[in-house]
Amino acid sequence: MNKANKPELIIDGRRTDGRNLEDLRSVKIESGVLDNADGSAMVEWGNNKIIAGVYGPREVFPKHFSDPYKAVVNFRYVMCSFSSLEEHSRGGPNRRSIEISKMGKHVFENLILTEQFPNTAIDIDVEVLQSDGGTRVAAFTAASVALVDAGIPVKGFAGGVSVGKVDGRLAVDLNKIEDNYGESDVPVMFNSSNSEILLLQMDGLLTREEYERSIDLCYEASKKVNALQVDSIKKKME
Ligand code: CDP
């Protein structure tokens, strides 16, 4: 990204897509969208479109990959070749997707009651169909709903958002242009039932005060995301 071409990101207090600094984009969550997965969810978060499928708990092959004390969680994050303006048809995993998949594994190892399913594996696959910044939090949000849809016992929902510094101001839920040209980016996710932090990453620089304020803003946004996650499951039950 050539920062020399950086556009103005905040004009008269409004962002490039018309939002105020603390506004989330529109978030829609639908659970149970796939017939052949044990659980699934579709999230449309601004211009992001993400689908998550969950399969398991299943038997582990080869057997030496299994854990006699808990289920093994596999998480796979994939950006479809047509999802990005930057990487047309470059298939296969890359450094970024490996990193996000590893973060997803950690998030859900801490959320699923894995001890209830020793010697099994739980697969969580997320495909980014269209991307516009904040895909990891949107992907984990979708995965969290898909797990509940699959009936897998969890400690809560994983919900959150990315807050960052844009033109010197903190902004909630960065889109791609803000993410790419902004000064920093802090994606945070919480366990809805005990507010434990499940994901905390940081790119760029913030003062200690800005960092603490970012976490507070992520927490407030996570509550809104959690409410939509619960609604999506209730709607399916009805
Ligand atoms: O998506 P997230 O913000 O979690 O991750 P990121 O690495 O900070 O990427 C920010 C955004 O840049 C993504 O959401 C995509 O819109 C875009 N991107 C892309 O289009 N192609 C890539 N290979 C990487 C990022």
3-state SS record for the chain: CCHHHCCCCEECCEECCCCCCCCCCCEEEEECCCCCCCEEEEEEECCEEEEEEEEEEEECCCHHHCECCECEEEEEEEECCCCCCCCCCCCCCCHHHHHHHHHHHHHHHCCECHHHCCCEEEEEEEEEEECCCCHHHHHHHHHHHHHHHCCCCECCCEEEEEEEEECCEEEECCCHHHHHHCCEEEEEEEECCCCCEEEECCEECCCHHHHHHHHHHHHHHHHHHHHHHHHHHHHHHC
Name residues whose C-beta falls within 8 Å of residue 51's C-beta, 6 or more positions apart in sequence: 33, 34, 40, 41, 42, 43, 126, 127, 129, 142
Q: Which residues make Cβ contacts (< 8 Å) with residue 82, sequence separation at least 6?
A: 88, 89, 129, 130
Residue 88: what pLDDT? 61
> Measuring from atom 3 of ligand 1, which residue has the nearest CA?
134
Query: With bands split at pLDDT 50, 70 and 90, how would you rate the model's confidence at 66?
Result: very high
Residue 218, pLDDT > 90, answer: yes
Write the residue with the smallest CA distance to atom 19 of ligand 1: 84
Domain-wise residue ranges, the chain: 19-237
Nearest CA to ligand 1 atom 23: 87
Residue 5 — pLDDT band, cuts 50, 70, 90?
confident
Q: Is 49 in the pocket of ligand 1 (CB under 6 A)?
A: no
How many angstroms does the Cα of residue 133 sit away from the middle of ligand 1?
5
Predicted confidence band at 91 (pLDDT cuts at 50, 70, 90)?
Answer: low
| 63/25 Cα distance (integer angstroms) | 44
Q: Give pLDDT, residue 4.
A: 77
Q: Determine which of 1-5, 19-23, 34-38 has the lowest per-residue pLDDT on average.
A: 1-5
Question: What pLDDT is attached to residue 1?
Answer: 65
Query: What pLDDT does 145 receive?
Result: 98
The pLDDT of residue 115: 98
Distance 97 CA to ligand 1 centre (A): 10
Cis peptide before 57 (omega within 30 of 0): yes
pLDDT at site 80: 93
Mean pLDDT, rounded, for 69-96? 87
Average pLDDT, the chain: 95
Tell me the sheet residues that pair with 203.
185
pLDDT at 86: 77
Average confidence (pLDDT) over 195-210: 97
Let me know if 5 is exposed, middle or buried by CB neighbors in 10 A (0-12, 13-18, 19+): exposed
Q: Does residue 38 contact residue 56 with C-beta atoms inside 8 Å?
A: yes
Ligand 1 centroid, distance to 225 Cα (angstroms):
20
Pocket test for ligand 1, best of 131, 132, 165, 166 (most atoms within 8 A of CB): 131
pLDDT at 36 over 70: yes
Examine the pLDDT at 62 and tell me if it is beyond 60.
yes
Pocket test for ligand 1, best of 25, 45, 77, 135 (most atoms within 8 A of CB): 135
Q: What is the mean pLDDT of residues 224-234?
A: 98
The CATH homologous superfamily to which domain 19-237 belongs is: GHMP Kinase, N-terminal domain (3.30.230.70)
Does 153 score more than 60 pLDDT?
Answer: yes
Residue 89 has pLDDT above 70, yes or no: no
Q: Which of 84, 132, 163 to mutate to test the pocket of ligand 1 (most atoms within 8 A of CB)?
A: 84
3 has a pLDDT exceeding 90: no
For residue 185, the ligand 1 atom closest to its alpha carbon is: 8
pLDDT tens column, 99-149: 999 999 999 999 999 999 999 999 999 999 999 999 999 999 999 999 999
70 Cα: distance to centroid of ligand 1 (angstroms): 33
Centroid of ligand 1 to alpha carbon of 35 (angstroms): 29
Query: Is residue 104 within 8 Å of residue 77, measured between CB atoms?
Result: yes
Average pLDDT (47-55) is 98
Strand partners, 162: 187
- pLDDT tens digits for range 163-191: 999 999 999 999 999 999 999 999 999 99
Q: What is the position in ligand 1's atom list of the atom closest to the CA of 162?
A: 3
